[in-house]
Chain A
Amino acid sequence: MQTWSLISICVLLGVVVRWGVSLNSYSGAGKPPMFGDYEAQRHWQEVTYNLPIREWYFNSTNNDLAYWGLDYPPLTAYHSWLCAYIANIINPEWVKLHKSRGYESPEHKLFMRTTVLVADLLLFIPAVVLYCLYLTDGSSKKKVSVLLCILLYPGIILIDYGHFQYNGVSLGLALWGILGLGLGWDALGSIAFSLALNYKQMELYHALPFFCYLLGKCFKAGLMGHGFFLFVRIAAAVVVTFALCWLPFLSDPVQALQVVRRIFPVARGLFEDKVANTWCSLNVLIKIRTLMSSDAQLYLSLVFTLLAVLPSSIRVLTRPTFWHFKLALVNSSLGFFLFSYQVHEKSILLAFYISVAAMVGLSITSVTLDPPSHLPDLFPVLVSTTAYLLFLGTIIHFNILQFSGPPSKKSQKKSN
Chain B
Amino acid sequence: MAADGWSWFPVLAAGVSLFKCLFISSYRSTDFEVHRNWLAITHSLPVSRWYHENSSEWTLDYPPLFAWFEFGLSHVARHFDGDMLLLHKQNYASPPTVLFQRLSVIVTDGVFILATRECCRCVQTQKASQKAVLSQPPFILAVLLLWNFGLFIVDHIHFQYNGFLFGFLLLSVAKHLQAQHLQGALLFAVLLNLKHIYLYVAPAYGVYLLRSYCFTESSTDGGIRWRSFSLLRLLALGSVVMAVCGLSFGPFIVMGQLPQVLSRLFPFKRGLCHAYWAPNAWALYNALDKVLATVGVRLKLLKEAELPQASMTGGLVQEFQHSVLPSVSPSVTLVCTLLSILPALASIWRRPRGARGFLRCLLLCALGSFMFGWHVHEKAILIAILPLSILAVESREDAGIFLLLSTTGHYSLFPLLFTPTELPIKVCLMLMFSLFSFCALRKLHSGDGSLLHPLEVAYLLGLGMVALFSEVLFPLSPWKQRLPFLPLLATSVYCSVGVSYSFLRLYATLLRSDSKPKQH
Please say whether chains A and B are actual partners in one complex.
yes
Residues of chain A whose beta carbon lies under 8 Å from any beta carbon of chain B: 1-2, 5, 8-9, 12-13, 15-17, 19-21, 23-24, 106, 110, 117, 141
Which residue of chain B is the closest to A109 with respect to CB atoms? B421
Question: Scoring B residues 24 to 51 as 1 if CB is less than 8 Å from chain A, else 0, what string do you get?
Answer: 0110000000000000000000000000
B316 at interface (Cβ–Cβ under 8 A)?
A: no
The reply to whether B435 and A13 form a contact with Cβ atoms under 8 Å apart is: no
List residues of chain B with CB within 8 A of the CB of A141. Answer: 132
List residues of chain A with CB within 8 A of the CB of B23. Answer: 20, 23
List residues of chain A with CB within 8 A of the CB of B26. Answer: 20, 23
Bound Cα distance A97, B23 (Å): 35
B424 CB contact (under 8 Å) in A1, A2, A16: A16
Given contacts A2-B439, A21-B22, contact A16 B432 (CB under 8 A): yes
B75 at interface (Cβ–Cβ under 8 A)?
A: no
The reply to whether B19 and A17 form a contact with Cβ atoms under 8 Å apart is: yes
How many residues on the B side are at the interface (Cβ–Cβ under 8 A)?
Answer: 21
B473 at interface (Cβ–Cβ under 8 A)?
A: no
List residues of chain B with CB within 8 A of the CB of A24. Answer: 25
B439 CB contact (under 8 Å) in A5, A15, A21, A110: A5
List residues of chain A with CB within 8 A of the CB of B440. Answer: 1
List residues of chain B with CB within 8 A of the CB of A20. Answer: 19, 22-23, 26, 425
The reply to whether B424 and A9 form a contact with Cβ atoms under 8 Å apart is: no
**Can you list 29 pairs linking A and B with CB atoms under 8 Å apart?**
A1-B135, A1-B440, A2-B439, A8-B431, A9-B432, A9-B435, A9-B436, A12-B428, A12-B429, A12-B431, A12-B435, A15-B428, A16-B424, A16-B428, A16-B429, A16-B432, A17-B19, A20-B19, A20-B26, A20-B425, A21-B22, A23-B22, A23-B23, A23-B26, A23-B421, A24-B25, A110-B421, A117-B424, A141-B132
Bound Cα distance A352, B29 (Å): 39
List residues of chain A with CB within 8 A of the CB of B435. Answer: 5, 8-9, 12
B134 at interface (Cβ–Cβ under 8 A)?
A: yes
Max chain B C-beta neighbours (<10 A), residue from A8, A19, A21, A106: A19
B443 at interface (Cβ–Cβ under 8 A)?
A: yes
10 A-B pairs with least C-beta separation: A20-B22, A5-B439, A12-B432, A16-B428, A23-B25, A12-B428, A19-B424, A1-B439, A24-B25, A15-B428
List residues of chain B with CB within 8 A of the CB of A13. Answer: 432
Q: In angstroms, how far is the closest chain A Cβ from the Cβ of B388?
A: 21
List residues of chain B with CB within 8 A of the CB of A19. Answer: 424-425, 428
Bound Cα distance A312, B420 (Å): 49
Which residue of chain A is the closest to B444 with respect to CB atoms? A1
* New A-B contacts (12) at CB < 8 Å, excluding given A12-B431, A13-B432, A23-B25: A1-B440, A5-B436, A8-B431, A15-B428, A16-B428, A19-B425, A19-B428, A20-B23, A23-B23, A24-B25, A106-B421, A110-B420
Question: Restricting to B404-439, which residues have a CB under 8 Å from any CB of A?
Answer: 420-421, 424-425, 428-429, 431-432, 435-436, 439
Q: In angstroms, how far is the closest chain B Cβ from the Cβ of A387?
A: 23
The reply to whether A17 and B22 form a contact with Cβ atoms under 8 Å apart is: yes
List residues of chain A with CB within 8 A of the CB of B432. Answer: 9, 12-13, 16
List residues of chain B with CB within 8 A of the CB of A23. Answer: 22-23, 25-26, 421
List residues of chain B with CB within 8 A of the CB of A117. Answer: 424
Residues of chain B whose beta carbon lies under 8 Å from any beta carbon of chain A: 19, 22-23, 25-26, 132, 134-135, 420-421, 424-425, 428-429, 431-432, 435-436, 439-440, 443
Q: In angstroms, how far is the closest chain A Cβ from the Cβ of B409?
A: 20
List residues of chain B with CB within 8 A of the CB of A8. Answer: 431, 435
Bound Cα distance A19, B25 (Å): 11
Bound Cα distance A141, B428 (Å): 22
Which residue of chain B is the closest to A19 with respect to CB atoms? B424
Bound Cα distance A141, B134 (Å): 10
List residues of chain B with CB within 8 A of the CB of A17. Answer: 19, 22
List residues of chain B with CB within 8 A of the CB of A1. Answer: 134-135, 439-440, 443
Bound Cα distance A23, B425 (Å): 10
Bound Cα distance A21, B135 (Å): 31
List residues of chain B with CB within 8 A of the CB of A110. Answer: 420-421
Bound Cα distance A24, B421 (Å): 11
Given contacts A1-B443, A9-B432, contact A16 B425 (CB under 8 A): yes
Bound Cα distance A45, B486 (Å): 38
Q: In angstroms, how far is the closest chain B Cβ from the Cβ of A60?
A: 37
Bound Cα distance A24, B22 (Å): 9
Which residue of chain B is the closest to A16 with respect to CB atoms? B428
Q: In angstroms, how far is the closest chain B Cβ from the Cβ of A19?
A: 5
